[in-house]
Amino acid sequence: MWKSFAPLLALVSCAAGLNILLTNDDSWASANIRATYNALKADGHDVLLVGPAVQQSGRGGTFVLPTTNITEPGGEFGSIPVGAPYFGQDSENGDLFYFNGTPAATAVFGIDIIAPKKFGSTPIDLVVSGPNEGQNNGPFLFTLSGTIGATYVSVERGYPAIAFSAGNSTHRSFTTLTDDASDPANIAAKVVADVVRAVANGVNATKQRLLPLGVGLSVNIPTFGPGSNCTAPPLRFTRMTGGAVVDQISINSTSGFPISTNLEASGVNANVNGVREDPGETPTSAGCETAVSIFSVDYDAPERLARPIQQRLSLAIEASEF
């Protein structure tokens, strides 16, 4: 049924020049983040890149600060020598920083320590995280993905933020990046620039927030480009529930050890919030479409579900001896 919904985000050609903090979990030296830096700069944004010193996938919102300078084996892809300070700046481009912490800690270091030096008293308009090397589909990823962790910690701090996750999961150094528009890192970066342009469209960046307080976006880009059947995936509004999976465990009868497989479970797919009619991001981005989900960091159950539970509990509490 989801195929019958038309793409809804209109793309416009003019973009307001935004102050953007760009971060990720695959490290400051990944091809995706450097390609995205280039694409956002080309669109006229002022971009500050602050990424983890090393690969920090799977850390979710874990907040770990460095207590030493860079230890063996150095920064990702040999990008930082052993013994270098716990944070540092690229020698040729003063807008590129590494920080030796988890993705959530790196985003906050960017917000509190580096951005004020770069942007002065003008605030960060938008935090962009990614594009991750691999998709992050469904609510389950909110405890697992470092890309999403850096995003929701930024939303929690009050900044509009967007997580981007790309289908191509190859872990690549920026030194392999080419100028070819069909380079997988460049095509993912173009989607980021297009979505940022759409988010900025119609919003007076100096007077208005790009997204409401407590709200962010999670964008899943399919595998596309040469070598796949997908060339120009349209943007489609989605919800996180609908076809989302979580782990289930079984025992390998040969080895005796547990193995995990994906389960499309009922809890993770309970459509409690969000736009009910929207398709799930998991099936959407498995095809040739970019899934755009809108999340909030308010974990409260909605009032229509919370009130009857409160009523039932208060009756029980009144009837008890306590």
Active-site residue identified among 165, 218, 285, 293: 165
Minimum Å distance from CB 91 to ligand NAG? 14
Q: 251 vs 315, which CB is nearer to ligand NAG?
A: 251
Kindly tell me which of 118 and 172 has the beta carbon lying closer to ligand NAG.
172
Within 13 Å and on the Cβ side, how many CA atoms surround 94? 4
Question: What minimum distance in Å lies between the beta carbon of 263 and ligand NAG?
Answer: 15
Q: How many Cβ atoms sit within 10 Å of the Cβ of residue 177?
A: 19
Cβ nearer to ligand NAG, comparing 57 with 223:
223
| Least separation in angstroms between CB 61 and ligand NAG | 27
Whether 165 sits among the annotated catalytic residues: the reply is yes
Nearer to ligand NAG, 117 or 207 (CB): 207
C-alpha closest to that of 124 among 188, 211, 56: 211
- Spatial neighbors of 303 by CB under 8 A, at least 6 apart, are none
> Could you give the C-alpha distances from 163 to 40, 112, 185, 215, in angstroms and in order?
15, 20, 16, 12
Cα-based distances in Å from 276 to 2, 237, 238, 287, 303: 12, 11, 9, 20, 17
DSSP-derived secondary structure for 161-199 = EEEEEES-----BGGG--S-TTSHHHHHHHHHHHHHHHH
Tokens of 284: 């959407």
In angstroms, what is the minimal distance from the CB of 183 to ligand NAG?
A: 7
Nearer to ligand NAG (CB atom), residue 82 or residue 315: 82
157 close to 125: Cβ distance less than 8 angstroms: no
Nearest distance, CB of residue 115 and ligand NAG, angstroms = 21
3-state SS assignment for residue 217 = strand
- Inter-residue contact 83 to 129 (CB < 8 Å): no
Pairing of strands 258-263, 246-251: antiparallel
CB of 114 to ligand NAG, least distance (A): 16
Nearer to ligand NAG, 229 or 320 (CB): 229
Please, what is the end-to-end C-alpha distance for the chain in angstroms? 52
Note the residues at the interface with ligand NAG (CB under 6 A). Answer: 69, 85, 168, 170, 172, 184, 204, 207, 223, 225, 227-229, 252, 254-255, 259
Residues that are catalytic: 165
